């Protein structure tokens, strides 16, 4: 089985294409060397399919922490945690030095600081991270129009057909991108090269940080002994369900015929079996419409008072309205999310008569949903999101009905309610945000 992903690669065999990751040079096909003849680097990756594969997954290494260290050179070589600093703060990103102590993303900040007491802790600067991500996307788009963003720090590129444009195969173009991003933006990335998006994502995880993983025709063999959790999208609950059905490795699922996959795993069984064999028919899609927009907040202390919950809800409605306008979208419905002090999550949803971006209208409907959950419970988290989206142009059409129509009356009631509870200052601030 040939998987190309080595941090300090041994002698290249001479029988497979090899690439230097530090100067992006292809090595002579018959060379048998431990170092790159051009730059002397030992970071050489070799794989039989290296020059054939064209789907590239790019995954930034400890993205938030990398941006902060580039902005603040004095942080170099120090453990860094980026995340909430309050009692209920959560780690957004732990740099690799901090990870050596056991700190990791999604861990309560208090626990991470106990594991890594010397760590420097910074609040996230999302605007700065988005600016770096935007520049990085522009660098990718200069290579191919087929760039699909997966998150703020992940993307997949289709470099097929770009050999003539760049005068180099995709493997070299991907290595050049990694070098350019690190040199210009101070962010290291891990690259995965494969035949399809799913396998490229898995290849990018082989050798982090600053990795360059390659998985080609050997994908079924590489997947076979691995846990079912290896597949993107398979979580703990599905892993347990598959285990009860007798499947703990991907090889066992991959061996199923479509008939047996349906019989033993249900209607989605054949799709799961195909992915277990490394098959992925998805194409790289340059842009995908947003499915939802949401905002939420975790309270420093649990809240049960109705007035305080409503005040926090209004602030979230302001933020949601501003985010919708910025994204040139409007909400056709909303969903309310609450988490109790016992970590029980409650959700409610409702539709609007017409799309909106106005905080007043969002609040009017959200408050109705919140009222139904006021039962004496104390809440640690409150969130509001869209339950359906429409273009910005469809938002808040003029009401041609009678001024006393139900919709207009409901909106006026919402405005009156906000003014009564929070005063004109907060109402005007919401309108100002909406106009931006």
154 catalytic per annotation = yes
Q: What is the 3 state secondary structure string of 87-138? A: CCCEEEEECHHHHCCCCCCCCEHHHHHHHCCCCEEECCCHHHHHHHHHHHHH
Q: Can you tell me which residue has the tokens 């033993």?
A: 264
153 is in an annotated binding site: yes
User: What is the rounded CA–CA span in Å between residue 219 and residue 1?
Assistant: 9
* 328-340 burial code (b ≥16 CB/10 A, e <16): ebbbbbbbbbbbb
Tokens of 149: 């963003």
Query: CA distances (Å), 229 to each of 186, 249, 368, in order?
Result: 32, 9, 40
59 is in an annotated binding site: yes
Active-site pick, 51, 68, 154, 360: 154
Q: Which of 355, 348, 351 is nearest to 397 (CA)?
A: 355
For 23-54, the DSSP string reads T-PBPPTT---SS-TTT----EEE-TTTTT--
Measured from the Cβ of residue 344, the count of other Cβ atoms closer than 10 Å reads 10
Q: Which of 115, 244, 132 is nearest to 188 (CA)?
A: 132
* Binding annotation: 59, 153
Output the known binding site for Mg(2+): 59, 153
Q: Which residues are catalytic, by number?
A: 154
């Amino acid at each position: 089985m040939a998987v190309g992903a080595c941090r300090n690669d041994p002698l290249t065999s001479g029988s497979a294409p090899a690439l230097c990751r530090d100067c992006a040079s292809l090595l002579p096909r018959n060379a048998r060397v431990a170092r790159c003849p051009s730059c002397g680097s030992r970071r050489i990756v070799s794989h039989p399919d290296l020059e054939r594969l064209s789907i590239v997954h790019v995954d930034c290494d400890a993205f938030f922490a990398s941006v902060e260290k580039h902005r603040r050179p004095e942080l170099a070589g120090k453990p860094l945690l980026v995340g909430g600093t309050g009692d209920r703060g959560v780690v957004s990103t732990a740099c690799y030095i901090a990870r050596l102590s056991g700190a990791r993303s999604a861990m309560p900040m208090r626990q991470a600081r106990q594991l890594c007491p010397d760590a420097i802790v910074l609040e996230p600067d999302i605007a700065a991270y988005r600016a770096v991500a935007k520049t990085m996307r522009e660098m990718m788009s200069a290579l191919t129009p087929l760039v699909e963003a997966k998150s703020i720090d992940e993307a997949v590129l289709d470099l097929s057909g770009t050999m003539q444009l760049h005068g180099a195969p995709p493997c070299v173009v991907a290595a050049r991108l990694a070098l350019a991003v690190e040199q210009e933006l101070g962010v290291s990335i891990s690259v995965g090269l494969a035949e399809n998006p799913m396998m490229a994502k898995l290849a990018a995880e082989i050798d982090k940080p600053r990795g360059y993983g390659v998985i080609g025709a050997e994908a079924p063999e590489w997947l076979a002994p691995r846990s079912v959790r290896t597949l993107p999208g398979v979580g703990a609950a599905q892993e347990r369900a598959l285990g009860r059905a007798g499947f703990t490795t991907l090889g066992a699922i991959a061996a199923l015929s479509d008939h047996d996959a349906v019989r033993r795993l249900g209607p989605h069984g054949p799709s799961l079996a195909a992915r277990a064999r490394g098959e992925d028919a998805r194409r790289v899609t340059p842009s995908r419409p947003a499915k939802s927009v949401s905002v939420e907040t975790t309270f420093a202390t649990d809240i049960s008072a109705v007035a305080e919950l409503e005040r926090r809800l209004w602030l979230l409605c302001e933020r949601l309205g501003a985010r919708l306008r910025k994204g040139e979208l409007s909400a056709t419905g909303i969903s309310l999310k609450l988490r109790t002090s016992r970590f029980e999550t409650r959700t409610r949803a409702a539709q609007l008569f017409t799309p909106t971006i106005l905080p007043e209208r969002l609040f009017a409907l959200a408050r109705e949903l919140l009222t139904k959950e006021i039962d004496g419970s104390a809440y640690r988290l409150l969130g509001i999101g869209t339950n359906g989206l429409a273009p910005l142009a469809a938002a808040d059409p003029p009401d041609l009905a009678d001024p006393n129509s139900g919709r207009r009356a409901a909106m006026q009631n919402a405005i009156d309610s906000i003014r009564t509870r929070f005063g004109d200052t907060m109402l005007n601030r919401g309108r100002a945000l909406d106009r931006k």
